[in-house]
Amino acid sequence: MRISTLHPVISHTLGPSTSFVGPAITRHSQERDEHVCSTYAAIASSSDLNADESGRTIWMWKQNLSGRLDDQSQKKKTLSLQHQISSLHTCDELPTRLFALSPQSELTVFDSDLAVKNTRPAPQALQNVLKTYCFSRTRDGFWHTYRLEPKDDDSIELTSISGPFRLTGLSFISKATNSEQISLLALSSSHVLLCALTDSPAPEIALLLWDLQYSVLLASHALPIPSTLTQSKDFGLKLNLVAASTTQALLILSAPTADSGPKSGGASLQSSVLVLPFTCPETSTIANAIGRASSGAKWMAETASSSTAALPHDPARTKLLSTMRAAMAKNHGDDDGGGGDGRGAFHHFPWLGRRGPACLSLL
């Protein structure tokens, strides 16, 4: 396709001295019976801006795609922020919100008409943002796992460490209003502690320690909801995991008190804090994952793709599986009567005896 043969649907003319902070963003929306396209651009410099406005100004244009192109599309709205802008972001889950990030990670949330809704200062005084990723908080239960690693001194790389799998049996999946009934805590680069309410008539608190490198459940524990906490139809129970040490986590449970509600002002909460001791391997190994495929079956939903197509393995996993297959085949041939069960094959893997089982308990 040649660019010269394309006919623009949206076009905005700017002066030759105008430069942009980064790529512009385009959003589509339905306003009554008309299709409207909104374009947002962070301006690094322009003859239309004062020096102190450069790098922190956003321009926005709206174009009615259901009508003809006219001069109305060239009329722009302007928003000037308190901080410099390094990038603009959108999220499909929030179609009426946009995000402006500064080089020091200051964040401004504004709506489709450039009205500022919220701002967040930088968490630390001295820090610089290398790269930004914006993920949607999907509630379909699919768990996607990524790892951020430094590529060199000036950049980082985002890689998927395993294929996605779908969770089931948890309350946050079935209802969007239950989004606060789950909490995650990273224990290592591939181990995550998940805490959520079960989706059952008598819900419990499920504590699940996952190895996401191999998508297996290493340990699990179920807790009853403390009797001191009453679940409300409107507010529900809020869960929050906080790291306490390398072997302990804190689980904060919050729920409205019995006298909270519209008549009493309804802001008071009662909370409980539980200490969760755990043992977690330092790294993910095939030794810890072997034999645990069925341990997470209760919490993993079967998908159509899981039975028809296998997830691709990286070269290291492929080599490991080939070595295991060869060792088991040799062990099978060496057994008297040819009926070996393959257990002797694991003598070829000295690290198997050093596997550190994960455990999870409650104080």
Q: Which two tokens stand for residue 49?
A: 């801006």
Q: Are 248 and 278 in contact (CB under 8 A)?
A: yes
Q: How many helices (H) and strands (E) does the chain have?
A: 4, 20
Task: Show pLDDT as tens, one digit a residue, over the chain (363 residues).
Answer: 566 676 666 777 787 789 999 889 988 887 777 788 889 999 999 988 888 999 999 999 988 877 665 555 568 899 999 999 999 998 877 888 999 999 988 999 999 999 999 998 887 777 788 777 776 666 677 888 888 787 777 777 878 888 888 899 998 887 766 778 889 999 988 999 999 999 888 889 999 999 998 999 999 999 998 887 765 444 578 899 999 998 999 999 987 654 444 444 444 567 889 999 999 998 988 888 888 888 899 999 876 554 444 444 455 666 666 777 776 666 655 554 444 445 454 454 554 444 445 556 544
Looking at the chain, the whole-number percentage of residues with pLDDT higher than 90 is 31
CA distance 143 to 201: 24
pTM, two decimal places:
0.57
* 60, amino acid identity: M
233, 260, 252, 213: which is closest to 358 by C-alpha? 213
21, 98, 45, 37: which is closest to 73 by C-alpha? 37
CA distance 160 to 312: 12
Three-class SS state of 263: helix
| Residue 249 CB burial class (10 angstroms; 0-12, 13-18, ≥19) | buried
